[in-house]
Amino acid sequence: MAILFHCPWANADEWRRRIAEALPEAEIRVWPEIGDPHDIEFAILWKAPPGALKGMPRLKGVCSLGAGVDHLLADPELPDAPVARLVDPLMADRMAEYVVGHALRHHLRTDEYAAQQRAGVWARLPYKDAAARTVGVLGLGALGRRSAERLAAQGFRVAGWSRKAKEVEGADCFHGPDGLAAMLRRTEILVCLLPLTPQTRGLLDARLFAQMPEGAALINVARGDHLVEADLLAALDSGRLSGATLDVFSEEPSPPAHPFWRHPKILMTPHVSSLSEPRTGAAILAAQYRRAMRGEAMRDLVDRDAGY
Ligand code: OXD
């Protein structure tokens, strides 16, 4: 009985070694060396080629190597086995650190002061206390919740939005379409942490930006396809938005000619906001494997109908 493993990252060997240490009873087969597909009972994958899991009748569970599962659900040949995301408190901490750091950057107008410095300008820009500034978090899953809590601990006013009603300590929570409009009206720094589904694809568009206060900022740490790129560029150029921090892109890495690279109001980072960590992740995946082998439900299961 074997686990199928696919990891395109530079630390793939470390992932494989740590999973093997955590699961000495299991044989790990690295895609595409799958051997007999009838042997495969479990899969741990990040962005495997479509069809990688077809013809594996004994598959009992599939785990993502990251928080997102859109790469799995996009496979039209994904078998009907339970699918789980990787939920690791360390990843939530890393995401919260990124979100708080970049919210502070926008709040403190760091980029504008850096531009002033380059131009040799000594001028104070208007200041606002964090307690008077609302940071809105779209998506209150494990990563969004931790980010919202840390933003509140940092002293920001926090508004959270989710599809269904949720509560987060220190945040005003909104849900549903009406709740989204109410949340956006007060949001000066918007953080996108939504799963990518047919409903959320393209949500960050001109219509949404128009609902936020003039000069609001955007932090997208979810998926590049949440964003309508041309609408962001227009909103930044018109001053409707003051800046954007983008960690995720429709195409990664972004092509060299992409206008985001050189836009003065955009800071790009290469999908680093919540790196999954083999040191802690391997034990979480091992526990999921053992649950599936015992015939128990895995944790953090994906609702395929909801798309996340
Ligand atoms: C992701 C991740 O889902 O990096 O994007 O975990």
Q: Compute the distance between CA of residue 121 and CA of residue 232 in angstroms, rounded to an integer.
A: 28
pTM: 0.95
Instruction: Return the residue whose CA atom lies nearest to atom 3 of ligand 1.
Output: 68
- Tallying the residues shown for the chain, one arrives at 308
- 274 CA to centre of ligand 1 in angstroms: 7
CB-based contact 99:221 (threshold 8 Å): yes
Q: pLDDT by residue (tens digit) across 6-58?
A: 999 999 999 999 999 999 999 999 999 999 999 999 999 999 999 999 999 99
224 lines ligand 1 (CB under 6 A): no
274 lines ligand 1 (CB under 6 A): yes
Give the contacts of 245 (CB within 8 A, at least 6 positions apart).
102, 105, 106, 217, 218, 219, 220, 266, 267, 269
Q: CB-side exposure of 195: number of CA atoms within 13 Å?
A: 23
Which of 197, 274, 285 should be mutated for ligand 1, with most atoms under 8 A from CB?
A: 274
Q: pLDDT by residue (tens digit) across 149-195?
A: 999 999 999 999 999 999 999 999 999 999 999 999 999 999 999 99
Mind telling me the catalytic residues? 223, 271
The pair phi, psi for residue 178, each rounded to 5°, is: -65, -40
Q: pLDDT by residue (tens digit) across 194-252?
A: 999 999 999 999 999 999 999 999 999 999 999 999 999 999 999 999 999 999 999 99
Nearest CA-CA partner of 186 in 161, 204, 211 = 211
For residue 222, the ligand 1 atom closest to its alpha carbon is: 5
67 lines ligand 1 (CB under 6 A): yes
